[in-house]
Amino acid sequence: MFDKSKSIFFDGLSKTEVHKEPIASKPVLQNRHFKPQWPVGHTIDYGLRLELYIEEKIHEIKYELQVVRIENTIENFTRFTINRTSPVYINEAEPDLLADQLAYKVGGIFYPMNLILDAEGKVSEIQNLDNVKQRWKKVKEDIKHTFEGAVLDEYVERMERNINDPFILNLALKDQDWFLNAFFMPIYKNYNLNDQPRSSLYFPILPFRNINYSSSFILNPHYTESGMIEINVNGEIDPLEIDDSAGNYSGRYLLHPHSKQIWMLKSIYTFEGSASQKYAKLDVYCIKVNEQEPDFNFDQSTKKISSSTLLIEDNRSKKKSIWKGIFG
């Protein structure tokens, strides 16, 4: 039986009342061992922006997704559902190239995606693969009526091969999804004074291969100016990973001061090999909490950020965001 006391998530969180202490009167973090308080049924919507350097060109991918806490497994492992809630935009436009259109259409079969987390908060299993297979049957017929040619045939053949092997499919989803690797990671640790705990973190910087970045976690002992908890993660590629290669990773996480949920993450990944250079940048930011706009007024004495003065340009919606002011 899974020992819930070893999990980073509380059980029965819907019954847990978050204790709010005035941030202004307590600017230094007193508790360096914290867990996220995410009740069953609680939802957070995020905007995601991924920038990839491929073949000497920068490609930008944007979409929105929703993270929902669902009931634990019988063994008491924590579960979440991830759902994509918007179209995917590539370089500010919906997919137009055949390969991109196929990838977008087929990518929809994986959502909603039910995840099981391990005790560190990392994804251990994609649970609803049977649903994925059923959705693939329908999508396969749709794309056969919409597309044609060698690209389609190759795509369908590869998907058929992967979809019928649960191990490969599970591994591919867990290892090749940037959001899953960056969002569900072991940031909820015991941060002792002057201590920088380390972990091996794997990211899909290379096609079909996750690379190990030996990383250290640094907790800012003070709340940020906006009243949030800040964790920085710095890593470099293990020299034993690939011959004649190097690379770095840096991540910055901003957590809600009371619930400890991730409200923003910003990360950069680099890889330099003898034959190629890779670069990726991932930004994820909270846009809704339980279908409501996020409230950044964590305490009356904390500086309230006005969204009207902080702007991130979005050619589709022209929405304004507080995140520009926080991250620069």
| Residue 183 to residue 212: CA distance in whole angstroms | 16
Calpha distance 25→138 (Å, rounded)? 57
* Dist CA 254 CA 239 (whole Å): 30
Asked if residue 238 lies in contact with residue 200, where contact means CB atoms within 8 angstroms, the answer is: yes
Q: How many domains does the chain have?
A: 1
Question: Hunting for tokens 């304004």 — which residue is that?
Answer: 320
Segment (H or E) for 255: strand 248-255
Residues 6+ apart with CB under 8 A from 181: 174, 175, 201, 202, 203, 204, 210
| Percentages of the chain per state (helix, strand, coil), in multiples of 5 | 25, 35, 45
Q: Which two tokens stand for residue 216?
A: 């250290």
CA 149, distance to chain mean position in Å, is 34
Q: Report the C-alpha gap between 72 and 57 in whole angstroms.
A: 43
End-to-end CA distance of the chain: 46
Buried b (16+ CB within 10 A) or exposed e, 171-200: eebbbebbbbbbbbbbbbbebeeeeeeebe
Q: Say what the pLDDT of residue 3 is.
A: 39
CA distance 91 to 88: 10
Q: What is the pLDDT of residue 275?
A: 78
Q: Which domain holds residue 271?
A: 4-327
Q: Using CA atoms, how far apart are residues 36 and 238, in angstroms rounded to an integer?
A: 30
CA–CA distances in Å: residue 28 to residues 23, 39, 189: 9, 26, 17
In order along its 328 residues, the chain shows pLDDT tens digits of 333 343 333 333 333 333 344 444 446 776 677 778 888 999 999 999 999 987 678 889 999 999 999 998 888 889 999 999 998 888 887 666 666 777 777 788 889 999 999 888 888 888 888 888 888 888 888 888 777 777 778 878 888 888 888 788 887 777 888 999 999 989 988 887 777 888 889 898 887 778 899 999 999 988 888 889 999 999 999 877 788 889 999 999 999 988 899 999 999 999 988 777 889 999 999 999 999 998 887 763 333 333 322 222 333 333 333 333 333 3
The number of C-alpha atoms within 13 Å of 154 and in the hemisphere containing its C-beta is 6
CATH of the domain at 288: 2.30.230
CA-CA distance, 124 to 218, in Å (whole number)? 24
